[in-house]
Homo-oligomer: A and B are copies of this chain.
Amino acid sequence: MITESSSRPPRSASDVVGKSVERQIEEVVAAYVRAADHRDGSAMAALFTEDAVVEIYYTGDGGRTPLGSVRTAAQIGQAVAGMMAPHPPRGWSHHTTFNHIVDVDGDTATIDVQFLVHNVVGRAEPAGGWPPDAVGAQGTITAIESGYNRSTLRRVEGRWLIARHVISHDLPYAFPRG
């Protein structure tokens, strides 16, 4: 039994209508990973404050090497379309996050997550159909990126938006050369 010093009686969670603030913030992250996987720049831009910044680092060697940054919601949306490789045929990705830590202070909040990005490539069905030993899902799923994301959010007219998003990669990153 939970005892309360307050004179107000305990209230059942099922009497509470709507999502907790912490859950609202987790669902911003849920929308973020879906926008990344759909390469949907408009959906991504809508999750950020107009003046937001995304900062990307490599931290896997114990240091903190900057890999790039993007400023303003519009540019962040464009980066999803322009900087992320398009999916190949039968290809997809899953940006996934785990073990969230959410801290809310009025109309600002932070969320700290672990992340893994999985690369998914389906096998093409042979012209003559799947061979007899092919049973179940056909293709490969490979974890290609991991690390931590830390976002700072602001509540703007009742909606939580990301104002600063810091991506810390475990793995070093090579960029295409001109």
List residues of chain A with CB under 8 Å of any chain B CB. 1-2, 4, 6, 8, 10-24, 27, 29-31, 33-34, 60-61, 85, 89-92, 94, 96-102, 106-107, 114, 116, 118, 120, 122-123, 125, 130, 132, 134-139, 141-146, 169-177
Q: How far is the CA of A90 from the CA of B170 in the complex (A)?
A: 8
In chain B, what residue has the closest Cβ to A99?
B30
Q: How many copies of this chain does the complex contain?
A: 3
Q: How far is the CA of A140 from the CA of B117 in the complex (A)?
A: 12
- In the complex, chain B residues whose CB is within 8 Å of the CB of A173: 136-138
Q: How far is the CA of A92 from the CA of B102 in the complex (A)?
A: 23
22 CB < 8 A contacts A-B: A8-B15, A10-B17, A12-B17, A13-B18, A14-B20, A16-B16, A16-B20, A20-B23, A30-B101, A33-B99, A61-B89, A61-B122, A85-B135, A94-B114, A97-B98, A116-B141, A118-B143, A120-B171, A122-B172, A137-B169, A139-B171, A141-B146
